[in-house]
């Protein structure tokens, strides 16, 4: 029994997921499209590090002048971008290829007017806007992948959404 006199169940958590409530509140919500993520893509999101899929493009959707970057930080960022990519043992696993999913995401972005705000079932990767120049607004599939891959909120949704549920055994969520 929980502190409020009832036990949290997996069905309660599922009822709070965006796909559960969106149909009833569609008229009062931003335009939304759902894109299913494969188990392989979820595993990729949960891997350590931020290696983007080959050929993915990342845009900066932040408005000019909204980011305060000092010259030292800017120089460091340019050095990092110019540095050659190091070969890492097992790099094949670190060079993911999700062309079909990325194409579907890009098509969805285009259908919604060219820019979107990504969200998983429960939360948005707003803790990772540092990776996209301070904006959660995404114009490419690469922007979305970068946000999701950099977000602790996304990792929590994917790994720990059912933690504390009375009907889900520990470690089995």
The boundaries of the domain holding residue 107 are 10-160
Q: How many CB atoms lie within 10 A of CB 103?
A: 11
Question: Domain for residue 96, yes or no?
Answer: yes
127-173: pLDDT as tens digits:
999 998 888 999 999 999 999 999 999 999 999 999 999 998 755 54
Instruction: Say if residues 46 and 155 touch (Cβ distance below 8 Å).
Output: yes
Question: Domain for residue 38, yes or no?
Answer: yes
Residue for token pair 């999701």: 148
26-78: pLDDT as tens digits:
999 999 999 999 999 999 999 998 888 888 888 866 554 444 445 444 444 44
Question: Which letter, b or e, does each residue of 129-152 get, where b requires 16 or more Cβ atoms within 10 Å of its Cβ?
Answer: bebbbbbbbbbbbbbbbbbbbbbe
Domain count of the fold of the chain: 1
CA gap 169, 162 in Å, rounded: 9
Question: Domain for residue 58, yes or no?
Answer: yes
6-16: pLDDT as tens digits:
889 999 999 99
């Amino acid at each position: 029994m929980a502190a409020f006199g009832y036990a949290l169940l997996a069905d309660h958590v599922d009822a709070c997921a965006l796909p559960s409530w969106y149909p009833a509140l569609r008229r009062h919500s931003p335009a939304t499209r759902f894109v299913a993520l494969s188990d392989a893509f979820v595993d990729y999101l949960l891997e350590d590090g931020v290696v983007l899929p080959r050929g993915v493009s990342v845009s900066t959707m932040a408005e000019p002048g909204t980011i305060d970057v000092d010259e030292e930080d800017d120089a460091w960022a340019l050095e990092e971008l110019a540095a050659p990519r190091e070969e890492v043992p097992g790099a094949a696993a670190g060079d993911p290829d999700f062309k079909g999913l990325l194409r579907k995401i890009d098509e969805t972005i285009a259908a919604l007017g060219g820019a979107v705000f990504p969200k998983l079932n429960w939360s948005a990767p707003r803790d990772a806007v540092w990776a996209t120049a301070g904006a959660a607004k995404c114009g490419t599939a690469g922007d979305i992948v970068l946000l999701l891959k950099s977000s602790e909120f996304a990792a929590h949704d994917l790994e720990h959404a059912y933690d504390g549920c009375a009907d889900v055994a520990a470690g089995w969520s």
